[in-house]
Structure 1
Amino acid sequence: MESRESLLQALREVERWEKEQKDLWFWEKLGRLPFVLLDKMTPKFVREKLGTAVDEMAAFLETGGTYLVSDEAVYSRFRSRKPERKEALFGKEDIAKLPLAEMNSVANELTESRAAFATVQGATTGIGGIFTLALDIPLLLGTSLKVLQEMALSYGYRPEEKRERLFVVKCLQFASSDIVGKKAILDELSRFDDPATEKDVIAQLQGWREVVVTYTENFGWKKLFQLVPIAGILFGAYINRSTVQDVAHAGMMLYQKRRILERLRQSDGHEV
């Protein structure tokens, strides 16, 4: 297990990343404008398809829906690293005790795997312009939810628990928010494991529909180029890959910080 000094160093690295997230890229300010225009020119059947993302998010929060991932796929990656783990039962409790370096390594592997999948997905849905874009957004939402669950499992958390799925949604919300939103979410997540604020966190997520709206609107300028048939293949591949990488990295850092703080509290016997 890491020393207190190494945990504090890891925490400082996460906090440095958090500060970097508060720098707003100019183009993000324009993120919603193209989507407003896109909405006006989008056929009704396309808008209806985009609307399914809301229902799918509701199903995910309640039961995991079709997006709930298998923990075995993640645990097998940890088992393969050491022969003695292959035959033994190896799950959440065991992963929670592993060094952060190993957790980070598996999380990075999963990020690359999902990013590669998203690249192919984006290229495929970029073929038909606006019509295949309607399919792309729900698919990308699903990939993002799955990779965040894999980040959770990599750090010893269980997304089949409803409260953990709330954390997943907050991570997704963080990845698609502006500076003000990111700061508010970081403040919320810093108190996520405090029993005194548990009800507050859940109450804040009653507006989860806004997460989906923001998530789709923020595709605005990014997805605008994907509307061009054929050329959309390149844009779709790049945009989907970078989106999944951003979401996965946000989840990796936020779950890592959560695990670090838990270990510091255990070593100190008090809140950090």
Structure 2
Amino acid sequence: MTYEEHIRKELLHWRKKMLKTPGLLEKGSKAIQGKINNLYPQKFLDALTGTIKRLVRGVLFGLEYIPKGKPLKNMDLSVRDLRALEVLKTYKRVAAAEGAGTGAGGFVLGIADFPALIAIKLKFLFELAHIYGYSTEDYKERLYILFVFQLAFSSQQKRPLVYHKLVHWEDTVKDYPQSQAMEKFDWEQFQVEYRDAIDLRKMLQMLPGIGAVVGLIANYGLLEDLGKVGMNCYRMRILQEKGLY
């Protein structure tokens, strides 16, 4: 079995995970998350919503996250995967250190951790795109990154829709022309799903005494989740282009 055949089997297993129907546990967790959201101060929710909207706009129309150098071309998928894992390892350490530092500072620094963590995640995805050979100077690739981010932090109820958009990317991107992307992209769902995906872990980060430890573990785990989804999305695209998926 070739490496690409092995990855194809992994992707088929991953697809089942992305498309599975939410169970009682997922539905119960969603209800609990709704109650948790009511515990947040409104200024915290407003700050988070504003941060996510600003970063979404920045990713779509800005160039600040584009890595230096050209995307990697003419490289085996196995080599790309190794490089991706190396970069992910670095970003997990950065996120963990950032989470530990802000977690030690209580509520105020806990709020500051949200935009910092989002920026770390986005920078990681930009580097990941280049590793797999896609130029983030292309607006369509920056849009793809947003959907990858959304898939990683969506509830199981919303994941199948986002997954299908990524699987059928050439059709999806036609619905989001650059001049209308901000109006058509559902950033409200984007920020709600993201907030719900991380809220319990991040809320514990703000507690005195344990915030630093929780912040370290939470940020490390969130980057781990994003890394798995990001790598699989780009693996899927490469295999699709070769007619193997």
**TM-score over 0.5 for the pair:** yes
Mapping 1:172-191, distance limit 5 Å: 172-191=149-168
TM-score, normalised to structure 2, is 0.86
Structure-1 separation of matches of 2:4 and 2:15 = 17
Per-residue deviation, residues 169-191 of structure 1 (Å, max 9, x unmatched): 00110011112221111111111
TM-score, normalised to structure 1, is 0.78
Structure-2 separation of matches of 1:31 and 1:69 = 37
Per-residue deviation, residues 171-227 of structure 1 (Å, max 9, x unmatched): 110011112221111111111135xx5323556952134312321232222222112
Whether contact under 8 Å (2:155, 2:193) holds in the other structure is no
Compute the RMSD of aligned alpha carbons. 2.5
Count of aligned pairs between the two proteins: 236
Q: Structure 1 residues 192 and 184 mapped into 2: Cα distance closer, same or farther (>3 Å)?
A: same
Q: Does residue 250 of structure 1 match 2:225? A: no
Match of residue 57 from structure 2? 58
Mapping 1:90-101, distance limit 5 Å: 91-92=70-71, 95-101=72-78
Q: Does residue 32 of structure 1 match 2:30? A: no
Mapping 1:133-144, distance limit 5 Å: 133-144=110-121
Structure 2 residue corresponding to 1:159, chosen from 136, 143, 146: 136
Match of residue 197 from structure 2? 218
Q: 2:33 is matched by which residue type in structure 1?
A: R
Match of residue 70 from structure 1? 67
Structure-1 separation of matches of 2:42 and 2:106 = 13
Match of residue 120 from structure 1? 97
Q: 2:232 is matched by which residue type in structure 1?
A: M
Structure-2 separation of matches of 1:256 and 1:31 = 34
Match of residue 15 from structure 1? 12
Per-residue deviation, residues 136-176 of structure 1 (Å, max 9, x unmatched): 11111111111111111110001121110111000110011
Match of residue 175 from structure 2? 200
Whether contact under 8 Å (2:103, 2:212) holds in the other structure is yes
Is the deviation greater in 131-140 or in 53-62?
A: 53-62
Gaps of 5+ in 1: 73-90, 266-271
Structure 2 SS opposite 1:230: coil
Instruction: Give % identity.
Output: 25
Structure 1 SS opposite 2:243: helix
Based on CA coordinates, which of the two structures has the bigger radius of gyration? 1
Structure 1 SS opposite 2:137: coil
Structure-2 separation of matches of 1:31 and 1:245 = 24
Whether contact under 8 Å (2:148, 2:230) holds in the other structure is yes
1:33 to partner: Cα distance: 2.8
Match of residue 47 from structure 2? 49
1:230 to partner: Cα distance: 3.0
Q: 1:198 is matched by which residue type in structure 2?
A: V
Q: Structure 1 residues 153 and 34 mapped into 2: Cα distance closer, same or farther (>3 Å)?
A: farther
Q: 2:57 is matched by which residue type in structure 1?
A: A
Whether contact under 8 Å (1:47, 1:134) holds in the other structure is no
Q: Does residue 168 of structure 1 match 2:166? A: no
Structure-2 separation of matches of 1:221 and 1:33 = 11
Gaps of 5+ in 2: none
Structure-2 separation of matches of 1:198 and 1:55 = 21
Q: 1:37 is matched by which residue type in structure 2?
A: N
